[in-house]
Chains A and B, each alone.
Chain A
Amino acid sequence: MSHTAPWTVATIRTALERRKVSARELADEFFAAIARRNPELNAYLALSPGLAYQQAGRVDAAVAKGEPLPALAGVPIAVKDVLSTTGIPTTCGSKILQNYVPPYNATAVERLEAAGAVILGKTNCDEFAMGSSNENSAYGPVHNPVALDRVPGGSSGGSAAAVAAGLAVAALGTDTGGSIRQPGACCGIPAVMPTYGRVSRYGLIAFASSLDRIGPFATNIADAAAVLGTIAGHDPLDSTSADIAVPSYAQEIDKDLAGLRIGVPEDYFGAGLDPEVRQHVEAGIALLEKLGCKRIPLKMPHTDYAIATYYIIATAEASSNLARYDGVRYGLRVSGATLMDMYRKTREQGFGAEVKRRIMLGTYALSAGYYDAYYLRAQKVRTLIFRDFADAFLKCDLIVTPTAPTPAFRLGEKTADPLQMYLADIYTVTGSLAGVPGISVPCGNTRGGLPVGLQIFGSHFGEGKMLQAAGQFEKAGGFAIGN
């Protein structure tokens, strides 16, 4: 079947029900597109045609029998390579897990499959999700499909690039400090970080456990909402997943925005914000006002401390989580004369530069004599950043900011200076520390044709209202504002 508009969850469903296309033909179409485009993008690390065609066959059989189709029947989806997938290699973008094939599925993956989704393969990412450009992958960087000499953002750069290039209808990413939202902004597609606890982390290979979240990329808000609705909800296998009912996000999107209060914190519009990004985000806020929202000026005074707080807490948790890679039970083993020798050689050869840097930073911040000065102090400042959000949500329903200070930068531009790279996360880490949900939506392109992202934060478990604003923004043409 030929078509011009990109496939969506809704058009796939209609086409399947009317027998205009089969799930197998859809899979064919996407694998063909991947074969054409992936060599220049490097978005996929592994493809899983065997499992994908099995699943497509099940969907086609259900169609043939006239059975009711589940929510994501036949929808081709990509999964970031930090999420465990039974029988499909899961490397985390690291050499230390080069040959690792998990014996179980992450809960989010399990739920996608139960909803009929067809998993095409695993997407490239910064090693162990540590990075803002995808240049820290042991398997080479991803190129931004909008401009091949630019980064796709990170760490979920492969997922963002795959969806933006039409190599998947939707994708799962993970976000610890901005790793879903920032690549969404760089590649010009909607990207959702749900509330901490909204989506089970079971089977997500841990980076920083108090911050890690799983969420979707899609080309439109309805699809993002459909994927989020599928993967959200309590899971007994993750004791930090919340036992709170999942609303129908699809219904929320259709509500109009009259009277909604949007907070705009001045702290997100200071030095370092690219003037063109500012201009587009201001135009986006004006559009939301035109749609009936009331603009509330805000001050969130601890914003400037978020990067330092985040990089202490996240690296401390990472140093602990990554202690498990020692060559004993799975992944790479480099032999050594003694057990200690084996540990050290395995980790030295298995980990890349950024991962080692963060392990050392975190180990330092947790070590005797420095714990109080760094880790404990950062945890206290986290409380203050959390309170900034609690205070803000007394005055408004949503908070609107830029997603990233600049559009996608050039490959190689920031690799020599880790601190400069960390500052790419300046507007996203705040929401990560506070546990609130955030979405990045496209907000037009710069004169040079690079996408700008507008970020909307909701209150805890307030994904519905957040998606409502994003959906109405999309409907009003916000994605192409100022172009």
Chain B
Amino acid sequence: MKITRDDVLRVAQLAHLELSEGEVELYRGQLDAILSYADKLNEIDVSGVEPMAQVLAGATGSGASGGASASIGANGDAEERHNSALREDVERPMHTAEAVLKIAPDPVPPYFRVPKVIER
């Protein structure tokens, strides 16, 4: 058994999920099966392989995401395309505050009201 009941409770707490007793046991079994299946990734030698956070970082200008990136051209060449995603730093009024607060569960313009934050 890979995943214990305590693992499920720990992860649920990290993810801010409150699980029922039935869910804890259901997810324990299911996560265990899925992660056991994912163990097949250990069959592969990945030494020296760069992790890929995002494809086409060169093409899309999101090179800052790090890791390997390239694009596959029509002739199969992996090519780097450069297109900075940075824009001019100029103010652009959005005028959305009113519309956004209108759909909030408990708005007190210009704020969202929430329960008191109490130290545990």
Q: Name A residues whose Cβ lies closer than 8 Å to a Cβ of B.
A: 100-101, 103-104, 195-197, 210, 236, 239-244, 302, 304-305, 307-309, 311-312, 319, 323, 326-333, 335-345, 347-348, 351, 353, 356-357, 359-361, 363-364, 367, 374, 376-384, 386, 389-395, 397, 418-419, 422, 433-436, 459-462, 465
B35 within 8 A of A: yes
| Central interface residue in B19, B76, B85, by most chain A CB within 10 Å | B76
- Complex contacts, A243 vs chain B, CB 8 Å: 61, 83
The minimal Cβ–Cβ distance linking A222 to chain B, given in whole angstroms, is 22
Q: Are B74 and A459 in contact (CB under 8 A)?
A: yes
| Cα(A386)–Cα(B54), bound, Å | 11
The minimal Cβ–Cβ distance linking A426 to chain B, given in whole angstroms, is 12
Contact of B53 among A210, A374, A395, A419 (CB under 8 A): A210
Q: Assuming A333-B106, A339-B117, A363-B11, is B52 touching A379 (CB within 8 A)?
A: yes
Q: Which B residues from 9 to 63 make CB contacts under 8 A with A?
A: 10-12, 14-19, 23, 27, 30-31, 33-35, 37-38, 40-44, 46, 49-56, 59-62
Contact of A383 among B50, B76, B115 (CB under 8 A): B50
| Central interface residue in B18, B27, B67, by most chain A CB within 10 Å | B18
The DSSP consensus for interface residues of chain A is: helix
Contact of B55 among A304, A319, A380, A435 (CB under 8 A): A435
17 cross-chain CB contacts under 8 A: A103-B99, A210-B55, A242-B60, A243-B83, A304-B40, A308-B40, A342-B114, A348-B18, A356-B23, A363-B11, A363-B14, A367-B11, A383-B51, A395-B76, A418-B30, A433-B55, A459-B73
| Cα(A252)–Cα(B109), bound, Å | 53
Q: Are A459 and B52 in contact (CB under 8 A)?
A: no
The minimal Cβ–Cβ distance linking A127 to chain B, given in whole angstroms, is 14
| Cα(A305)–Cα(B44), bound, Å | 9
Contact of A359 among B15, B83, B96 (CB under 8 A): B15
- Complex contacts, A435 vs chain B, CB 8 Å: 55-56, 71
- Complex contacts, A357 vs chain B, CB 8 Å: 27, 30-31
- Complex contacts, A100 vs chain B, CB 8 Å: 103
Q: Assuming A380-B49, A390-B72, is B14 touching A367 (CB within 8 A)?
A: yes
- Complex contacts, B52 vs chain A, CB 8 Å: 379-380, 382-383, 386
Cβ-Cβ contact count across A and B, 8 Å cutoff: 221
Q: Are B16 and A343 in contact (CB under 8 A)?
A: yes
- Complex contacts, B83 vs chain A, CB 8 Å: 242-244
Contact of A342 among B42, B44, B61, B115 (CB under 8 A): B115
> Taking CB as reference atom, which chain B residue is nearest A327?
B105
The minimal Cβ–Cβ distance linking A56 to chain B, given in whole angstroms, is 26
- Complex contacts, A390 vs chain B, CB 8 Å: 70, 72, 76, 78
The minimal Cβ–Cβ distance linking B23 to chain A, given in whole angstroms, is 7
The minimal Cβ–Cβ distance linking B36 to chain A, given in whole angstroms, is 9
Sorting the interface of chain B by its residue count into under 10, 10 to 19, 20 to 34 or 35 or more gives: 35 or more
| Cα(A434)–Cα(B16), bound, Å | 32
Q: Are B15 and A379 in contact (CB under 8 A)?
A: no
| Cα(A443)–Cα(B47), bound, Å | 41
The minimal Cβ–Cβ distance linking A406 to chain B, given in whole angstroms, is 19
Q: Name B residues whose Cβ lies closer than 8 Å to a Cβ of A.
A: 3, 7-8, 10-12, 14-19, 23, 27, 30-31, 33-35, 37-38, 40-44, 46, 49-56, 59-62, 65, 67-68, 70-78, 81, 83, 85, 87, 96, 99-100, 102-106, 112, 114-118, 120
- Complex contacts, B35 vs chain A, CB 8 Å: 361, 364, 374
Q: Assuming A242-B83, A243-B83, A342-B115, is B73 touching A460 (CB within 8 A)?
A: yes
| Cα(A374)–Cα(B102), bound, Å | 41
The minimal Cβ–Cβ distance linking B10 to chain A, given in whole angstroms, is 8
Q: Are B112 and A312 in contact (CB under 8 A)?
A: no
The minimal Cβ–Cβ distance linking A129 to chain B, given in whole angstroms, is 18
Q: What 9 A-B pairs are tightest by C-beta distance, nearest first?
A: A435-B55, A379-B51, A394-B76, A103-B99, A333-B105, A393-B76, A239-B85, A380-B46, A344-B18
Q: Are A459 and B72 in contact (CB under 8 A)?
A: yes
| Cα(A440)–Cα(B41), bound, Å | 28
Contact of A434 among B43, B55, B59, B87 (CB under 8 A): B55
Contact of B72 among A101, A327, A347, A436 (CB under 8 A): A436
| Cα(A154)–Cα(B33), bound, Å | 22
The minimal Cβ–Cβ distance linking A84 to chain B, given in whole angstroms, is 12
The minimal Cβ–Cβ distance linking B85 to chain A, given in whole angstroms, is 4
- Complex contacts, B31 vs chain A, CB 8 Å: 357, 360-361, 364
- Complex contacts, A364 vs chain B, CB 8 Å: 3, 7, 11, 31, 35
- Complex contacts, A353 vs chain B, CB 8 Å: 23
- Complex contacts, A336 vs chain B, CB 8 Å: 115
| Cα(A307)–Cα(B40), bound, Å | 10
Q: Assuming A305-B41, A312-B38, A384-B49, is B60 touching A360 (CB within 8 A)?
A: no
> Taking CB as reference atom, which chain A residue is nearest B83?
A243
- Complex contacts, A337 vs chain B, CB 8 Å: 115
Q: Are A330 and B55 in contact (CB under 8 A)?
A: no
| Central interface residue in A307, A332, A360, by most chain B CB within 10 Å | A360
| Cα(A380)–Cα(B73), bound, Å | 21
| Cα(A72)–Cα(B61), bound, Å | 30
Q: Are A311 and B34 in contact (CB under 8 A)?
A: yes
Contacts A103-B96, A461-B59 known; list 11 others, CB within 8 Å: A196-B60, A240-B62, A240-B85, A308-B41, A309-B41, A344-B18, A374-B38, A377-B46, A378-B41, A418-B34, A459-B74
- Complex contacts, B44 vs chain A, CB 8 Å: 302, 305, 381, 384
